Structure 1
Amino acid sequence: MLKFISNLLASLGASRAGAAAQFQPTPQLAVKAGDVLVQPAPNDQGWSALKVFAVDGATAHFLTYEPVAAKPRLSSLDEAVVRLAHAQRAASTLAEGWELLGNQPATERELQGLKYMDFELYVRLTGQDVDTIMRTAREHFERAGVHATEGRRIDAINEYGKAIELYPAFTEALDKRAFSFMELGLYEKALRDLDESLYLNEDGMAAFFSKGECLMKLGHLDEAAAIFTEGQERFPEHASQFNEFLKRTRAFALTGRPA
């Protein structure tokens, strides 16, 4: 047993020494778009890697990958798992303690996450025209409205989805798709859209109220009551509407049936 432990410790020590030997920090690195940087992860947890999207003045925009056991190669990062789709920090902080693995433009797959984190940067890096994107998204939104008015809820949901795919911060489309989900009784799906809408615009009264209604329909009565109570203070012009649904929530708690 003692020999086994000694061999194990020696093996761990050799592994760490090997990782340290493989690490060749690049001195005074001036990062630029496409640079892939690596370094041993803290506490001997493999290797960390990041890819720089862009450098705006003194700020570097980049994505990070999940740590990997062996020192990565440029080719191996093509299928690596993205940990953080977009981060930013002073470019000067990347000048030391990192090794420049090489330069490789961001792939479309890697840029997809950026679309949800920093839409303007995504559009710029992909060379698209924002006016064209917004016009097309609006066309899908308006088509969805026609479908919804005529009772074709699935078609409406699909068109709202196309608008959101083009412009993820399209809160009107998120709200409307949520309402269509609610009409179909798909309250969990509606909640996801409403939460995203409220993340983008915390003052969205319709989304806030509808979130309470979804929670009530799903039987999450304490959470629903909290929404309707808070809504009376946050949106006093709609206090009577929130109060009415607060009463319905309390009745649901007593009868076991949604009002």
Structure 2
Amino acid sequence: MLKTITSFFASLGAPRARAAGNFQPSQQLVVKAGDVLVQPLPDGQGWSALKVFAVEGATAHCLTYEPVARKPTLDVLAQSAVRMAHSPRAATSLAEGWELAGNQPATEVELQGLKYMDFELYVRLTGQDVDTIMRTAEAHFDRASAHAAEGRSIEAINEFGKAIELYPAYSDALDKRAFSFMELGLYEKALRDLDESLYLNPEGMSAFFCKGECLMKLGHLDEAEAIFIEGQDRFPEHATQFNEFLKRTRAFALTGRPA
């Protein structure tokens, strides 16, 4: 029995030993921007890696890569898929147990992912002026709104998209692009924008209501009904509007035709 148990634990340790055979962990490493760190996975069946974007105080802002089978080099990681665009960690947690693979500044593509995770950090790292970005985004938003008011939904969608590309957390632009998608009957695309808007602003009444309308139009009647019931409690000043669409949803369920 003892021999069996010993063999079992030995087998667990073997993969890790194989993976860690050429692992040279640093000790008391003080990480800095551009540092690329690697270490074997706990099960020994591959390697994990991260890149440090910036160190602010006690926090290291990192990008993490998808695990790879062999110990990665900088060239390999340049072609590897990103797992998380922004993974903030205590800088001290990287001081030991990682091997420094080299230093490589963040690429423009890597920083693009950061823009959607931490816009303020993205602006700082790219050396841009936030006021200039916002003025440009607002100009696109205004042009898009004018197109939408005149019924040019495709032009509006394109301009709202430019505003969102500059400032991904622009919830008003997400809402209005969703409304333009709805005008064209593109309810699934509208839902994606509405979900993103509600993630940024959970109390957005228009986005919440329109999400219910999109679900109804797509035939997801149980989900739509839940939205319209919840909306009457969350937004009592608009209870009549939510109740009207609740009735339409239930009629759709009975007749098989949207009201």
CA shift, 1:162, in A, is 0.3
The answer as to whether partners of 1:45 and 1:67 remain within 8 angstroms in 2 is no
Matched, 1:232 2:232: yes
- Structure 1 residues 14, 240: closer, same or farther in 2, change over 3 A? closer
* Runs of 5+ consecutive residues of structure 2 not aligned to the other structure: 1-11
Paired residue for 2:138? 138
2-structure distance, mates of 1:111, 1:58: 21
Matched, 1:73 2:102: no
AA aligned to 1:186 is L
Q: How many residue pairs are counted as aligned between the two chains?
A: 250
2-structure distance, mates of 1:170, 1:124: 18
Alignment of 1:1-259 (within 5 A): 17-259=17-259
CA shift, 1:98, in A, is 0.4
2-structure distance, mates of 1:204, 1:242: 14
Q: Percent same amino acid at aligned positions?
A: 81
CA shift, 1:232, in A, is 0.5
- Structure 1 residues 239, 14: closer, same or farther in 2, change over 3 A? closer
CA shift, 1:234, in A, is 0.5
What are the superposed Cα offsets for residues 186-225 of structure 1, whole Å, 9 maximum, x if unpaired?
0000000000000000000000000000000000000000
CA shift, 1:19, in A, is 2.7
TM-score (norm 1): 0.93
AA aligned to 1:151 is G
The answer as to whether partners of 1:65 and 1:80 remain within 8 angstroms in 2 is yes
SS in 1 for 2:24: coil
1-structure distance, mates of 2:185, 2:216: 12
Moved over 2 A (4+): 12-19
- Structure 1 residues 15, 44: closer, same or farther in 2, change over 3 A? closer
Paired residue for 2:9? none
AA aligned to 2:65 is Y
SS in 1 for 2:252: helix
The answer as to whether partners of 1:140 and 1:159 remain within 8 angstroms in 2 is yes
TM-score (norm 2): 0.93
SS in 2 for 1:101: strand
The answer as to whether partners of 2:221 and 2:249 remain within 8 angstroms in 1 is yes
SS in 2 for 1:28: coil
The answer as to whether partners of 2:34 and 2:106 remain within 8 angstroms in 1 is yes
The answer as to whether partners of 2:74 and 2:102 remain within 8 angstroms in 1 is yes
CA shift, 1:17, in A, is 4.1
2-structure distance, mates of 1:14, 1:236: 62
SS in 2 for 1:42: coil
AA aligned to 1:143 is R
1-structure distance, mates of 2:217, 2:45: 45
What are the superposed Cα offsets for residues 17-38 of structure 1, whole Å, 9 maximum, x if unpaired?
4432210000111111111000
The answer as to whether partners of 2:15 and 2:43 remain within 8 angstroms in 1 is no
- Structure 1 residues 70, 236: closer, same or farther in 2, change over 3 A? same
CA shift, 1:47, in A, is 0.5
1-structure distance, mates of 2:230, 2:45: 45
SS in 1 for 2:39: strand
